[in-house]
Structure 1
Amino acid sequence: MAQLLIVDDERHITDRLSELVPWSESGIKGVHKAYSAEEALDVMEACTIDIVLTDIRMPGMSGLELSEQIRRRWRKTKCILLSGHAEFEYAKEAIRHGAVSYLLKPAKDEELLAAVAQVRTELEEEWREIISQERIAQAMRENLPQMRGNLLGELLLGKRYAAAELRDKMTMLSVPGFYEQGFALMLVRLEQPFHNYDPHSLALVEYAVGNMAEELFQPDCELWHGKDVHQYLVFLITHKEENGDCAELYRMLENKAGQLKDAIHTFLRGSATILISRTGVFPADLATMYDGTLSTLRKRIGDVSDLIMTVSDAAIGESETCSLSSLYELPSLSHLLEAGQWQQAEQRLKSIAAELQTEEQLLEAYFVIASAASSYAHKSGQRLSDLIGPGYEKLTVGLPFRNAQQLLDWSLELLGRLSSEAESEKQDSRAKLIADVRQFVEQHLDEDVSLTAIARHVYLHPVYISKIYKLETGENITEYVYRIRMEKAARLLLDTSDKIYEIAARLGYQRAHSFIHVFKKHTGLTPQEYRDKYGS
């Protein structure tokens, strides 16, 4: 369903077209109004508009100039021009510059609906082409290396996928056959002079290293490479000959890694340190092998450069003993709280508690959970003590828990307080927004009460306002404005002796004729007939 913007400096024409033409018959979901080309551009900035129906002759910026700006700034938006006979040549010129259609004024409703339906069909065909399987497949082929690297980077950071989902992602990205296969991990730390390179030059070097590694390890091995948060290059390597001799495999890997280091020296004029892990099974052993390799780099190599080393099983074991994978899994606990994903946060807390074995781990988990809650509170502009009440005292007395269950009970209670406060704040915020919208509409019925004007008043995006209003009240803002106008019109007709044109003006209609049409459509009676029938 498309969004339509109607632009005309004569308010009664704009209002009549927006309110009386059954646009939904042409697949239009929302109708927006503007009374000048300048205001139309403001609406375009605030809302996603698919079709613009604009008059040509307007003071200031003309409809032709407007359509030209739209063509340059919003390439997917289509313009339909309304022109008199005198502007017919201008209309043809505008079509040559991007407008898709024109209609002679005064246009009948059937002509308007047909033109808009035709343009909407053209838009749908364009989007179908954009999202066509062929184009998507081509785009994926062009971006496969980066997408593969991104997936590997997520896995290294601890993001977990269900088995079927990870298999599907790997298949979609044409990742070599790693799943549930043996593999080794190779970590490459680029050193001098690469530390001083600008991002573009460094990216070229990293691309070159990836290509050199592919060339050196094939055809005996399959590689999958990416980059971790430390800016190290990470290669997963699987040998095509399964059940081969392990010692021979490591000799081969070390030999290839040596050739890669020499190639970096020779062709890129720089140095690198390379670590090779022991083998494991993907994806079960990935986190352990990666953590162990990083630990070895930190503890046994440090800032010494230009080395090759095979990581020992002891280093991996050390990392495995102390690591709490659920505590740092992506998305992190902080991210889950910030996104309001309360159920996922609860499951994460339970997973963390299930991994706790020592008092040290209990302390580590306690600090991370408390830090996440504190960060959430401060980013929400509140104090944690105000959010969680009496439970805050436990944060100030050191480690108040002796076992995982006590920590879990406290954490879940903390989570419940945070989620309840967030829900209450959301409801209060929405209630205030609804009240502000209604107050503005009721006080400005004789002025501009378009969605754009309301958005400017409450300092929020029009799409957000429209969606929240509909969600909370069950009716669209345009329906509410229309209903309030008609209800006020009925009261004024029965409770005052004001003339019809005076009532029309108080309701924002510049011409009584437009008001009479709208009122009759709503009640089945003209304003005078309504007054005569129901007045005392």
Structure 2
Amino acid sequence: MYRMLIVDDLPIIVEGLVKMFGKKKPELELFQAFSAYQALEVLSRTRIDIVLSDIRMPGMEGTELLHEIKRRWPLCKVIFLTSFDDFHYVKNAISGGGFDYLLKTESDEGIVRSIDKAIAELDAQAEANRKLLEANFQSRQATLLMQQQYINELLKGRAPLSESSIRAKLRETGMGLSMELPVYVLLGRIDSWGGKGTREGRKLMLYAVQNIAAEKLQSTVRLSSAEMDDSNVVWLLQPMNGSGAESGEGEQDDAGKTWFEWVYGELDTIQANCRETIGLEVSFAISPSAVRWESLPEAYDALLSLMWGDQGTGSEVRLKGQSGHSAPRSSFEAAKMKLANRKTKKISLLGHYLENGGKADFNSLLDEIIDHAAEENRSGFVKLEVYHGLASVFLSYLNQYPLDGKLAAQIGLDRLSHADVNLSWEELRAYFRKLAELLFDNRDQPAVEDEHIVVHRVNEYINSHLAEDVSLAKLAGIVHLNPSYLSRLYKRTAGIGLSEYINMARTEKAKELLKHSAYKIYEISAMVGYDSRLSFIRFFKASMGMTPQEYRDS
């Protein structure tokens, strides 16, 4: 889904275009601004793919806005609407990177054609980038797979940690890192796939994230990276000149501290590039100091715990690990730490896979959790702990995304709240695997008879949250569907577009408040989702043929 921002200092023009595009291009996520400065506020917090803007506005003209847009989002397509048929403005707009130029007298169909042309070019650019990335990925795949397999084994504690073994593997895989120097660990997490792609497509996008990071860091950093699971990437980092790593683990000289802060600062740029070029939001956690190679499993565990804890909640977070996590410890202390961290971490990770559609990773991790618990099972309490942990993951999911009665009957939800410790480990595995299969198979595929339920839930949310965010993206999250899919489903089932229903709901709520309450006009405008009293008046007049005050007095 592409995002389009409409900018004009006349609200009636903006609202008219929003209404028109809501009907003709419901797949677009629309944003609006009534000045160049408001537009910059939107652009500073959201990736925008297309901007449709007036070229002459008070305070900052469209050509100045164009410069700022291209600085923030170079791939954005900027189309100018103007009533001034002036060659000078046309020349400045196009030479400055504008995509197209239209007169305000242009018909709706002409404006839509220009938007369609911009979408086609965005699609073509995305496809070209995908093919280039795929070609590069294929050519390096054998080497990457060797490196990835070793990094996975190393961080998960499955690789020999002797100096000679590590040295031999670094040479064999061509990772370009030095055994003589300790290593910084950087963990990246895809916060949400947003319905993007197949499993293979997601692997390609994870590879793109690794490429983006490498391009930003390679001037001063030696690094190797690996995809750790369906949503995590890990980088092993060393300063290019060895500064900050020569004095040993946990110690940094001034140059090392400067280098570390530079890397940490660049994470913000990497996040912005991931947002713009591949449309993904990525969070990062980095070890605060270099760790010895034999301490890498503990350092990785600590970052995972940090990322999946309270501090890691949200999107595009940047975290520094706690100092001292990689201090020397006995094998018994290391075992205790791993056990404490990995139990909660892996259970939480199952919930992430269930939420984001990582079916293969979910099944693999479920097997790992149960196999490990079965090996360590010293009493029935271990099985009870695992049962309740798994049940909590599914109950949390089902509380957020309720099931219809037919599917609930298939699952047998009563077993989630009544643990049966007499089940064998294999029976426990089979039950939770079947439960996950049913949820994965039914996500994003509501049956025809349930489409009216989806529409009903969306309508209920809109009616009770008119003063809040009722964007397509927000509504899609409420019913756990892809935004484009929800837009099509809603129009097919309800017979009108989502934006049309939202406008109808706002009109009816405004009419009710105007006739049956003493609220002032500006208060009602906020209650039906308008920040500007003037925008509300223009909207109401366009809908009812009279101003709000005229309607109240009638």
TM-score range, shorter chain: 0.3 to 0.5
TM-score between the two structures when normalised by the length of structure 1:
0.47
TM-score between the two structures when normalised by the length of structure 2:
0.45
